[in-house]
Amino acid sequence: MNISELTISQLRSAYTAGDITPVEALRALAGEIDARDPGIGAYLSYDLDRALVDAQSADLSQPLGGIPILLKDLISAKGHPLSCASKFLENTYTAPYDATVVRKLREAGAIPFGRANMDEFAMGSTNENSAIKLCRNPHDLERVPGGSSGGSAAAVAANLAIASLGSDTGGSIRQPASHCGVVGLKPSYGRVSRYGLAAFASSLDQCGPITKTVADTARLLEVIAGGCDYDSTCISTPVPRYSEEIGKDITGLRIGLPTEYFAEGLDPAIRERIESAMKTMESLGATIIPVSLPHTEYVVAIYYIIATAEASSNLARIDGVRYGRRAEASDLTELYEKSRGEGFGSEVKRRILFGTHVLSSGYYDAYYLRAQKARTLIRQDFESAFSRVDLIAAPVSPTPPVKIGEAEADPLRMYLADIYTISANLTGICALSVPCGTVSVEGKPLPVGLQLLGKPFGEVELLRAAHAYEQARG
């Protein structure tokens, strides 16, 4: 039995049957990481000794008893390093407290194990903005794993992790999950606490699972979801038993296909995979209905104004005073400017600069307020579509993963590739990526994800449809 290939459900069964103990599982997993991760780069670090202490006292009766969970390197776990894959925080920051999601994982018996590579401060869609090291796609080492949760998705895909938690501000869970051929869920805004996650854009960020199966995503979500005293945007609506709900059939489900998503720009081979997945859905009793999201062409502009504006504000605290690297300086302004100039990578600087411009005196109404108003139109598009259908189906990314080095020359082109994922963040709805086959690029099969989008707090219907598809797909 190769432990690292197991799902959460399978590892639980192996523990229950007495085939293996959590201590043995962690040692085996660490051995796999040491042997194979140098060729992939999914892990920034792990602490086996600390995890073994947790493993020795693991309560296997708990829902995630003894299960190691890899954390994206922006999720605080007390005593663990946290760098956001930035030179600013690398080797200088240790989390002094647990994020709410980590506290909930621990209470459910899970063991936080490993820090996943990512784009610096979650800004990017290729993982190439990691200031610490490159992360490769396990399906083709010349290609990117996607981002920003690239390390999480690559580790799960390469069987170097059982499951992981990532974060999604504009597609950062779903897009790497699609590129790496694993399952990734962005929960509805307010479903999961953001307390203890290094914030990128506070009105868009959500934390969610990246796993090998939809059932594992359901199991993780029911542990991490729920209200939080430390995040006032987190809603205390009761958490359904997702893992028990997913098995029901989907006869009569209405799935909308947005006409605008299947226009120019979408790779024909990906389009064919999505259409084939819709045939599978029909065979399961679902009805496919065309819908319109008329303002789709504006979502990238809206998103990059709002996300960078919020980021420029959130990242003001990264200043070399309370944490992080500090440059030599003779006065306070110089200390800020030099520390930030030396500490941030180029994409982070670009986004902070753009966000600062759109919020600057005289420009607020022209950019930020206009984007917030246009955001209302996107919400109305989805409300209108969801009055006719239960779920929406879409691609995740218009293209397969690009080759390492291809994206950096043209930032705008890279931003435009987020077109199918960012609406879920702007509107706060839930959405996931589930593998729907491969496309052949230069003779190599590369994974493609099917995106399903659900109503706010509609995770039960979303996971049920994804699970039914996953079972039928084989």
Active site residues: 72, 148, 172
Size of the site for another protein (CB under 8 A): 73
Q: Which is nearer to another protein, 13 or 360 (CB)?
A: 360
Among 352, 391, 432, 465, which residue sits at the site for another protein (rule: CB under 8 A)? 352
- Between residue 169 and residue 228, which ones bind another protein under the rule CB under 8 A? 189-190, 203
Closest distance to another protein from the beta carbon of 470 (Å): 27
* Three-state secondary structure call for residue 439: strand
Within 242-281, the residues that bind another protein by CB under 8 A are none
Q: Which of 57, 61, 283, 330 binds another protein (CB under 8 A)?
A: 330
Report the phi/psi class of residue 196: left, alpha or beta, with left for phi > 0 and alpha for psi in -120 to 50.
left
Question: Which lies closer to another protein via its Cβ, residue 21 or residue 92?
Answer: 92
379 touches another protein by CB under 8 A: yes
Tokens 């110089």 locate to: 334
**Closer by beta carbon to another protein, 6 or else 306:** 306
Distance CA 146, CA 417 (A): 11
3-state secondary structure (DSSP) of residue 63 = coil
Are 70 and 152 a contacting pair, CB within 8 Å? yes
Considering the complex, state which of residue 420 and residue 469 has its C-beta at the smaller distance from another protein: 420
- Least CB distance from residue 166 to another protein, whole Å? 19
Question: How many Cα atoms occupy the beta-carbon half-sphere of 190 within 13 Å?
Answer: 14
Taking the complex as a whole, the smallest distance from the CB of residue 395 to another protein amounts, in Å, to 22
Residue numbers 413-452 binding another protein by CB under 8 A: 425-429
CB of 396 to another protein, least distance (A): 20
Query: CB of 271 within 8 A of CB of 395?
Result: yes
Q: Give the C-alpha separation, 369 to 376, whole Å.
A: 11
Q: By C-beta, is 57 or 333 nearer to another protein?
A: 333
Position 285, amino acid: G
Which residue lies nearer to another protein by CB, 344 or 420?
Answer: 344
Nearest distance from C-beta of residue 77 to another protein, angstroms: 14
Scan residues 43-102 and list those touching another protein (CB under 8 A). Answer: 92-94, 96-97
- For residues 277-316, which are near another protein according to CB under 8 A? 295, 297-298, 300-302, 304-305, 312, 316
The token pair at 408 is: 């950096």
CA 327, CA 265: separation in Å to the nearest integer?
A: 44
Nearer of residues 152 and 425 to another protein, judged by Cβ: 425
Out of 47, 260, 342, 408, the only residue in the binding site for another protein (CB under 8 A) is 342
CA nearest to 221, candidates 200, 198, 242, 196:
242
CB of 454 to another protein, least distance (A): 14
Closest to 67 (Cα-Cα) out of 112, 103, 17, 100: 112
Closest approach of another protein to the CB of residue 191, in Å: 10
DSSP string spanning 177-219?
HHHHT-EEEEPPTTTB--TTBPPS-TTT-EEEEEESSHHHHHH
325 binds another protein (CB under 8 A): yes
Can you read off the two tokens belonging to residue 310? 């919020």
398 lies in the site for another protein, by CB under 8 A: no
Given a contact cutoff of 8 angstroms between Cβ atoms, the answer to whether 162 and 11 are in contact is yes
